[in-house]
Structures are given as C-alpha cells and as structure tokens.
Chain A
C-alpha cells in the first residue's frame, strides 16, 4: 500500500468528512484496483477480459483483509471504490491512445454472460465525461456516485437500489436526471 496510515484509520477519518483522508483512501483504492488488474494480465497473458465487478470484489477482499480495515458493508466500500474505478477506467483509455497498441486486455463493466452492448466511447469523450462527473460531483455527489456505479462499475439499477435502500423507481429517476445533467454539461446539441 502506498499510504502511510493504515486503511482502517483512513476509512474512519474519511467517513467523518476529512478530505485529506478521503484523498488518501481514494489513492489506496486506485492502487489496489490497478494492482489486481495488472496481476491478472500477467497471469493470463493474452486475451483477458476482466469484469469490473470481479475487480471490485477482489479489491474488497484485499482491502478488508488488511490490518484494521473495516468496511461496514459493500455499500460503504463502494461509496469510495466506485470513484476509483472511474479514474482507473479513464486512465486506461488515456494510456491506450498513448501507446497506440492494439491491446489484448479488456476491462469491461458488462455482465459475465456476454450479453449487452458495450459503450465504446472515444478517449476524449471519456475524459469529458470524467470532467463533467467531477463538476456534477461537487454539487450532487450521490448522482455522480450513481453514474460511477452504473456506468463505470456495471451494477444494475435494481442492485444499486438495494445497495442504497431505496426503491428502484427512485434510482431509475435519478439515473435519468444524471444522464440529462451530464448531457447538458457536455454541451451536446
């Protein structure tokens, strides 16, 4: 871990709203996700498709087994991890275009059974979405978190509803709102 303080303390601190702790926790999450992805890539060599939910699951196990770490539950973990997942994905997009190599490694938020159509935006687009989410997150953190969970992490709306303890209807409405606001932020015609 690249942090100086143990995870448990960081969590407690971030929970109380300490921005420095939150930033460190974010960094720790990011590192962990990246580490796991890299390990998987080394292990599998060619043609790996890694599900984001798997990645998050592994990270959850890994971090919660560290000394003193205590996430109350999945929702707690995800409230921090989802944002890290977003950052990781955006970085991968950036690096891809930098190296211009075809790439055998797929990171996907799609369900395991291979159903569903992927959204494959351009790097610029992904960066724009990231920036827009940052803006949205300053004003409506929970909407931004929703986008992270659904778009970047691949959780279904009904799962997110369960996670948050609200009705599915509410989440569906929030999702619509989030999309609209993001759309506006991106300045699309």
Chain B
C-alpha cells in the first residue's frame, strides 16, 4: 500500500510531467531519478499507465447503482416549505424535469390542491428567467376540463424556478387502456376527450408539440387530463442538468422520434397539423398496440427516416388478434390513415374535423376520409417503382423540348417536307425508346445512372437511319452523364456522336458536336483541347451556307464557357447573350433549353458580382419553367437553388429556406422515392443545422448522402458526410460522428483533397458535444485561422465556425474577445447584406454583440444592439425563429434590469 508521503510527493511531479511532451517527460524523469530514484520509478509507472488510461476505461464514466426495495420509507424534510404563495405538503413523484410536490396556497385563496413542479434547473441566467416568465403567462390562458391547468409559473429567490399546476392523480392513457382492458369504443371515447383538449388549445393558438402517452393521464373517474402543454417550448433552451450558460443556446432541440411528424423531421414549421399527426399516432397506438411506422426500430436515425418515408401499416393489419382486426377494419382505419398522412394538406385540417369524423364513425355514419382505393394503392405502388419512369420522362422531356434541329428560316419546300418527316420520325423514335426503357424497368428500383446505361444500350440496339436523330439522342445522353460526373461515358458518347456526324457529312451537325466536345473539355479544365475543338467547330460551321441556329447557339455557348474559364467574364456574358439572342430569333424563347442557357448566364453574372442582373434572370427562368410545367426539372431546382443562395448570402434566411423547402417538397410530391436533389438538399440541411434543428439536418444530410452514393458522386458525398458528422456530434453521438469522419477522410483522400479543415471542423463539433469548451474553442480558432481570419481575410465559410466560437467564448467568460468576434461577424454580414434590417446574419451578429456588451456591464450598448437585433431578425429569420425570441428576451431582460435600477435609486 502506498504511503501518504509518497502520494503527497508524487502529485506535484505528476502535475508538471503531464504538461510535458513525451521526450521532455523522459528527461524530467531522469532528473528526478538523480535525486530520488524511488519516486522516479513510481512516476515512470504512472506515466506509462497514463498513455493507455483512456483505453483502460478506468473511472471513465459516472457511476450507476441498483439498490433493492430494502430502503425504508421515512418522513420528509421539505414539508412545510413555502415557495412563493404556496406551501409544500408532500412529494408526489419524480419527472424528467424535476420533482413534483403536492401543495396548497398559503393564503387559502385558491381552494383545493395544486401540484408544484420544482424544476431541476437553476435559472440564474436572467434571460432564461425572463423567457420562462413570459411563456408562463401565455400558457396560463388555457382553461379546459381536460387540460391540467398551469396556474402559475415563477422563479423564487435564488433562481429556483417552479410551475404551479392543477393537481392530477391518474394513470398514463396507454397503461390505463391496457389495465382496464378497454374495448376499442371506450378507447375512442377517451381519445375524443384528448381531442377536445387539444382543440381548445388550438383555438387559443397554442400548439402542444409534444403529444405522447406520458403526457396524458386518466383519472380514477375516467377523465382525461393533458399535461405539459407547450412546456416543451417553454423549456427549450433550459433543459439541461447544469447551470445554463449561453453554451446551452448552442444546443438545438431534439424531437421524440416516435411522435414526431414528417414536417418536424424535415424542418418545416410546426403547425396545428403537427399535433393532428401526433394524435393520429396516439390513436393508432391505443387501438393497435404498436407503432404505425417505427415498430421494431431501434436507432434514432431509423425512426426519423421511417416517419418521412415509410407508409404506415393499415391499422387492421397491425391488430394483434383476429377479433380486433375485424373491429378495426373499415372506416376507422381510413380515419386514422388520414391523420397520418405525410403531407399536411392531406390530413384533417383541424382537430375538430378529426373528432367529427370519428364521431361519425361511432354513429355508423359515412366518414369523410376516403379509403385508399385499389387504384390509388396501385398508383402508389407504381410511384414507388416508377423512379425510372419519372426520370425517363425527364430525359424524354429534355429530348423533346431541346429541339436540336428546327429549320424555320429560309427553308425550301422540299426541306419543309423533310423537316416534317424528320419531326415525325423523331417523335416515333422517342416513343419507341421510351417504351423500350419502361418495359425493361420491371419492378426493380432503377437509379438514374442505371437507367441511362440501359438507355444507351437500347439506343445501340435501335439503329435509326437519321444521323441527326442519333447524334441528338447521343448528345442528350452525354449531357445527362455529364451531370452525374460520369465523364468517361460522356466522352465516349460524344466520340460516337462525332463519328456519326462525320459520316453524315452535315457541316452544322459536325460543328455542333465539335462545339459540344469543346464544352466537355472546358468542363474538365482542359482549355487547350477545348479551344482546338471550338476552332474546328467554328471553321466547319462557316462552310455551311445555312448554318443551323442550334449549332450557332451551341458554339457561342461553348465559346462563352471557355471565356469564363479564361476569366474573360465580360466576353463570356456577351457570348451567352448572343446565344440567347439566336434562340430568341428562332422563336425558341420559352423552352427548357432557353432557360437552361439563361441560368448559365446568371451563374456567370453572379460570379462577377452582377448579382441583381443574375437574380432577375433566375426569376425569369423560374417563372418560365413553372409555366412549362417543369418546376420539378433539374434545371428548375438549380435555378431555385441559386435564387435561394443569393437570399441566404444576403442574410434573408426565412425567404431562402422557404424556397429550398418548396423545391424539396415538390420533388417529394412528384415521386416520394425520387432522390433528393443533392445541392438543394445539402443547402437546406445546412440551414437546418444553423437553426439548431439537428434532427432535421441529420435527416436531410443522410438523404443527400444516399443520393450521392447512388449516383456515385464522391464530392457531394464528402460534403454530406461533414454535415452528418457535425450533426451527430451535436446530437450527442460522438462515436457516430467519428465513424462519419473516418469515412469522410477516406473519400477526401480518394479525391485528393486536403483534409485538414474538414477534420478540424468536425473535431470542434465533437468537442462541443463533449462539453470540452477549451478544446472546442481551440479547434474552432484553428479552423478560422486556416481560413486566414487572423491575417485579416474574411471568407463566407468562416461565418459558421466564427458564430460557434463567439458563443463558446461568451460561455467561457471572455466577453471582450467575444465582442471582437461579434464585430467581425457584423462586418462580414453587413458587406453581404442588402439592407441591415433585413439580414438575419447582421441580426445574429448584433445579438452576440449585445450579449458581450451585457457581460461587460455596458447595459446601454447591450440594449442598443439587442433592439437592432430584434428588428433585423424579425424580418430576416422570422418572428418564430429561436434567435428572434432570444433577442426579444434579451431586450426585455435588460429593460427589467434597468427599471429595477431606477426604482432603487
């Protein structure tokens, strides 16, 4: 056994040694050995253990113990304690948030008992207390026999927050139904009471957001009482065991996956329809005894995915017995199914409507919910397997509308006849082709890549006699492959098109193909080959006395692209405008190709900073594509994405997010199995992450990753993995984050990309999740140092880490440094914004500055910035955004403090 003296002597040595590097330690131990060899030996052993300490797992986590029921009950000590106007009588129980006591009003004003919930959080943070108080006032408005009334909410001296609630003695609704072995009718009756409660709240514009069995009690006389109404919202930023600092604001809100609605998972705003969904799940569970989509699933990510992608099993099929199945079949399951629709618009519009339909069922009247007829189910089945079909349709649409050859001007009669024949044959070929594709699909799910592969094979088998047609089809395929970055196939197809064109001897055709080849080379950054091909194309084109407008346009575009690469942006703009003019002159103003070119021009303009022109063009493309019914096309998604990005860069988050979400929802509604557009999905996920909606972010990042894996796009997968790693870290899954990081690094190596910043960025998030603020701060600093921040460089990618770093710095009580960071953020945001009070980025920076000023004791400056923050955030992020709420709470809290000060003077 080690003696105390040795122990005492070791500690300072250990202290010193732990600070040293490996080599230095060796030297240090040698020094010690000279004086005290025993001590040195001990030290050496300890240091040897230290290296493997983490692997040992010795004392790595907090302890847990299970004890038996031998513990004798004893009298209590808090009895008689007063809290505000209430006197505590005896404890009732223990919830996730804190302990509940039975209490009564000290002055006897309110007859009867109350339940006082002592929250396990010391709200020493004045902003938190302010928010808590305000929410309490809102919730106290609810008065309904089926709602456990919130009577009061307060914060006692010393920061002890408490809620005073109506005292309810009862059992959880699911347990009650089980224990009393209730018939389905009785369960429905109980459920109607729940509906009444939620309906009342909706009338008062309060959404519960957290409906689940543990929040619904049934009293001994069979009455339902709903608990914790909106309290989830109330406690959002304060649920944490510890003393909350601004660090908790870095945490987002987590959902209960089993009862989360699809829109909650995808990050759309919560509405009363969200409660309808949760009620649907509840009813399902009460009737069938199992979960509609998540039965048997274990991981959080699986649950979330099931909510949005898995169709609920028909209620009757989920029944546990034949008798129950017969009971549940028919209209009842239609009603439940309607409440569980993925799309909000398809559910019951209100809780009242839900209840009405249920009552009709119980009275054997016809219900409003339509059954999923066989046709509809078949339609759904087709939809699921029609991935290939839909994409084929897109390809065909592109083929059809991008008319490669439209001889309009100055054509002779014979040519006119030829043209008609050509068009007819073209239409025929397309139809045949389409049939061939579809019939080959069968019932297996086909990815775009596979589909294209099959298409090319089919094209090979079908020899068309018209070289123009063959070349046209080959070109289109080449474009699609190019979009998927399958460059070798693209090359091969272009080569084939080239030989077809050469054989045909048609100069315009040869020119067009040559210019497309030039484009291909330009895309891959081989300017020399590109220039050569372009030169050839232009020369050949000159030999045609009636050059085809498509060829002319195509060559102008390719030249434009090469100009962009050569950084001759103004020239590029001119060339692209000329191409558009050519298309215009042949009357092809409103076609897919036209808008495609227009959006490319917008890209270039954006690149040279002519953002407003770009926005105008994009808006025109967007309208035009919608008018063509092509809002689901890849180009429309791209255009919308670009519009949204501009908005987001300017700090107009609310508008930008809405556009992105619309695109995603439209894609989904067209075909629920269709892959999410990776760029849009990614940008949306990033916005969800910034908004603290980590579950939603995880869902979308994962969807993007799946999409990129199917199309084998490594770059997108890499970026999605960064998102996944950071999100998992923030959701507390450090090992999941590390796994993602590992894969990420592999891919980065494959792509020959530098990995330093990515891994630092992820590590910072992991450190944050592990509450290691020091490491997190250091790592975030390293990330922005890498971006050149400390050398005065300001890049947009620094904004996200800088925001987190500012929050951490505030939490670590270094307000002056935090203020510096906040100022830098503000500068960056102002530069990019259109107007200060429309930009959420400026607003957020103002808020951070306000918090820093407040911590420094400069109350007036703090007020000034906080007020400005509220203005900007209300517009830029929306009134319901958590940042807006935080800013408002800050303003209020500062005002109260000031009032107090004045009063005491």
Q: Do A and B come from one complex?
A: yes
| Residue ranges of A at the interface with B (Cβ–Cβ < 8 Å) | 1, 32, 34-44, 48, 50-54, 57-58, 61-63, 65-66, 74, 89, 92-93, 95-96, 99, 101-113, 115-121, 126, 129, 135-136, 138-140, 143, 147, 150-159, 162, 167-169, 172-173, 176-177, 179-185, 187-188
**In contact, B49 and A180 (Cβ under 8 angstroms):** yes
* With A48-B94, A155-B242, A159-B243 already in contact, 12 other A-B pairs whose C-beta atoms are closer than 8 Å: A32-B77, A40-B91, A53-B120, A96-B65, A105-B69, A112-B120, A121-B63, A135-B7, A140-B8, A172-B774, A176-B50, A184-B42
Q: Mark B20-51, 1 if CB is under 8 A from A, else 0.
A: 00000000000000000000001001100110
> Measured between C-beta atoms, what is the minimum distance from A143 to chain B in Å?
8
A38-B73, A43-B93, A95-B67 as given contacts; A136 in contact with B7, CB under 8 Å? yes
- Most interface-central of A106, A140, A143, A177 (chain B CB within 10 A): A177
Partner of A39, one of B10, B91, B241: B91
**In contact, B11 and A39 (Cβ under 8 angstroms):** no
**In contact, A116 and B8 (Cβ under 8 angstroms):** no
Task: Give Cα distance in the complex from A188 to B56, angstroms.
Answer: 11
Q: Mark B299-314, 1 if CB is under 8 A from A, else 0.
A: 0000000000000000
- Most interface-central of A34, A104, A184 (chain B CB within 10 A): A184
**In contact, A65 and B68 (Cβ under 8 angstroms):** no
**In contact, B59 and A182 (Cβ under 8 angstroms):** yes
**In contact, A105 and B68 (Cβ under 8 angstroms):** yes
**In contact, A54 and B120 (Cβ under 8 angstroms):** yes
A39-B73, A168-B773, A181-B14 as given contacts; A58 in contact with B78, CB under 8 Å? yes
Chain B residues, CB < 8 A from A118: 61-64
**In contact, B59 and A151 (Cβ under 8 angstroms):** yes
**In contact, B69 and A101 (Cβ under 8 angstroms):** yes
- Most interface-central of B56, B92, B774 (chain A CB within 10 A): B774
A35-B74, A35-B76, A43-B94 as given contacts; A184 in contact with B68, CB under 8 Å? no
B66 within 8 A of A: yes
**In contact, B732 and A61 (Cβ under 8 angstroms):** no
B296 within 8 A of A: no
**In contact, A54 and B99 (Cβ under 8 angstroms):** yes
Please list 18 pairs of residues, one from A and one from B, whose beta carbons are closer than 8 Å in the complex, sorted by A's number: A35-B74, A36-B76, A38-B72, A50-B94, A58-B99, A65-B81, A92-B65, A96-B65, A101-B69, A101-B70, A106-B66, A108-B64, A112-B241, A113-B732, A119-B64, A176-B50, A179-B59, A180-B50
**In contact, A119 and B62 (Cβ under 8 angstroms):** yes
CB nearest neighbor in A for B78: A62
Task: Give Cα distance in the complex from A92 to B64, angstroms.
Answer: 10
**In contact, A92 and B73 (Cβ under 8 angstroms):** no
**In contact, A109 and B99 (Cβ under 8 angstroms):** no
Chain B residues, CB < 8 A from A157: 771-772
Chain A residues, CB < 8 A from B63: 89, 108-109, 118-121, 126, 151-152
B58 within 8 A of A: yes
CB nearest neighbor in A for B8: A139
B169 within 8 A of A: no
Chain A residues, CB < 8 A from B15: 173, 177
Partner of B2, one of A95, A116, A126, A184: A184
Task: Give Cα distance in the complex from A19 to B898, angstroms.
Answer: 46
A40-B91, A43-B92, A61-B160 as given contacts; A151 in contact with B62, CB under 8 Å? yes
| Residue ranges of B at the interface with A (Cβ–Cβ < 8 Å) | 1-2, 4, 7-8, 10-11, 14-15, 18-19, 42, 45-46, 49-50, 53, 56, 58-78, 81, 91-94, 96, 98-99, 118, 120, 122, 160, 241-243, 245, 254, 732, 771-774, 812
**In contact, A116 and B4 (Cβ under 8 angstroms):** no
Chain B residues, CB < 8 A from A129: 59
Task: Give Cα distance in the complex from A181 to B98, angstroms.
Answer: 36
Chain B residues, CB < 8 A from A154: 62, 241
Task: Give Cα distance in the complex from A151 to B58, angstroms.
Answer: 11
Partner of B65, one of A34, A104, A108, A112: A108
> Measured between C-beta atoms, what is the minimum distance from B186 to chain A in Å?
26
**In contact, B69 and A103 (Cβ under 8 angstroms):** yes
**In contact, A177 and B58 (Cβ under 8 angstroms):** no
> Measured between C-beta atoms, what is the minimum distance from B297 to chain A in Å?
17
**In contact, A105 and B67 (Cβ under 8 angstroms):** yes
> Measured between C-beta atoms, what is the minimum distance from A64 to chain B in Å?
8
Chain A residues, CB < 8 A from B66: 96, 102-103, 105-107
**In contact, A120 and B59 (Cβ under 8 angstroms):** no
> Measured between C-beta atoms, what is the minimum distance from A165 to chain B in Å?
10
**In contact, A99 and B62 (Cβ under 8 angstroms):** no
Task: Give Cα distance in the complex from A180 to B17, angstroms.
Answer: 12
Chain A residues, CB < 8 A from B45: 184
Chain B residues, CB < 8 A from A139: 4, 7-8, 11
> Measured between C-beta atoms, what is the minimum distance from A145 to chain B in Å?
14
Chain A residues, CB < 8 A from B14: 177, 180-181
**In contact, B771 and A156 (Cβ under 8 angstroms):** yes
> Measured between C-beta atoms, what is the minimum distance from A127 to chain B in Å?
12
Chain A residues, CB < 8 A from B19: 173
Task: Give Cα distance in the complex from A8 to B692, angstroms.
Answer: 45
Partner of B4, one of A40, A48, A109, A135: A135
**In contact, A99 and B70 (Cβ under 8 angstroms):** yes
CB nearest neighbor in A for B79: A62
CB nearest neighbor in B for A96: B67
3 tightest A-B contacts by CB? A109-B62, A118-B64, A42-B73
Chain A residues, CB < 8 A from B8: 139-140
Chain B residues, CB < 8 A from A54: 94, 98-99, 120
**In contact, A61 and B118 (Cβ under 8 angstroms):** yes
> Measured between C-beta atoms, what is the minimum distance from B64 to chain A in Å?
4
> Measured between C-beta atoms, what is the minimum distance from A85 to chain B in Å?
10
CB nearest neighbor in B for A131: B1
Partner of A95, one of B70, B74, B92: B70
**In contact, B53 and A99 (Cβ under 8 angstroms):** no
**In contact, A57 and B120 (Cβ under 8 angstroms):** yes
Task: Give Cα distance in the complex from A167 to B92, angstroms.
Answer: 40
CB nearest neighbor in A for B241: A53
**In contact, B118 and A103 (Cβ under 8 angstroms):** no
A58-B99, A158-B773 as given contacts; A176 in contact with B53, CB under 8 Å? yes
A53-B241, A135-B4 as given contacts; A169 in contact with B774, CB under 8 Å? yes
Chain B residues, CB < 8 A from A183: 49, 53, 56, 58-59
> Measured between C-beta atoms, what is the minimum distance from B772 to chain A in Å?
7
Task: Give Cα distance in the complex from A164 to B63, angstroms.
Answer: 22
**In contact, B11 and A177 (Cβ under 8 angstroms):** yes
> Measured between C-beta atoms, what is the minimum distance from B735 to chain A in Å?
10
Chain B residues, CB < 8 A from A126: 63, 65
**In contact, B50 and A96 (Cβ under 8 angstroms):** no
Partner of A104, one of B1, B7, B69, B120: B69
> Measured between C-beta atoms, what is the minimum distance from B738 to chain A in Å?
15
Task: Give Cα distance in the complex from A157 to B71, angstroms.
Answer: 31
Task: Give Cα distance in the complex from A167 to B94, angstroms.
Answer: 34
Partner of A61, one of B75, B78, B772: B78
**In contact, A173 and B18 (Cβ under 8 angstroms):** yes
Chain A residues, CB < 8 A from B77: 1, 32, 35-36, 62-63, 66
Chain A residues, CB < 8 A from B73: 38-39, 41-42
Task: Give Cα distance in the complex from A6 to B834, angstroms.
Answer: 67
> Measured between C-beta atoms, what is the minimum distance from A109 to chain B in Å?
3
> Measured between C-beta atoms, what is the minimum distance from A66 to chain B in Å?
8
Chain A residues, CB < 8 A from B71: 34, 37-38, 41, 105
**In contact, A140 and B61 (Cβ under 8 angstroms):** no
Chain B residues, CB < 8 A from A62: 77-78, 81
**In contact, B61 and A116 (Cβ under 8 angstroms):** yes
Task: Give Cα distance in the complex from A32 to B74, angstroms.
Answer: 10
Task: Give Cα distance in the complex from A177 to B47, angstroms.
Answer: 10
> Measured between C-beta atoms, what is the minimum distance from B76 to chain A in Å?
5
**In contact, A158 and B93 (Cβ under 8 angstroms):** no
CB nearest neighbor in B for A173: B18
> Measured between C-beta atoms, what is the minimum distance from B192 to chain A in Å?
30
Task: Give Cα distance in the complex from A173 to B17, angstroms.
Answer: 11
CB nearest neighbor in A for B82: A65
> Measured between C-beta atoms, what is the minimum distance from A124 to chain B in Å?
14
